[in-house]
Amino acid sequence: MTTLATALAMLPLAWGIGHGADMLRPLAIGLIGALCISMLFSLIATPTIYCLLMRLREAPLVRKLAPRESNG
């Protein structure tokens, strides 16, 4: 929600509305792009990689190679 609010707050600056917007327009466009990419990466890529690693950990080949737990 914070990322979305910041990106939406930068829209008037990216559109060139306001005093001094010509100078700060590239910064606003870059910031909006970076926020959107980081939000997608943190919400989609990170959980996907985590699930894939958990499936790999549960694979039979990895289970054979992992050290066994001692019950003593």
Q: d(Cα 69, Cα 67) in Å, to the nearest integer?
A: 7
Residue entry with tokens 């990322």: 3
pTM: 0.66
Average pLDDT over residues 45-50: 93
Residue 11 contacts by C-beta under 8 Å, 6 or more apart in sequence? 28, 32
Q: Please state the rounded mean pLDDT for residues 53-72.
A: 69
What is the mean pLDDT of the segment spanning 3-28? 89
The pLDDT value recorded for residue 62 is 55
pLDDT mean across residues, the chain: 85
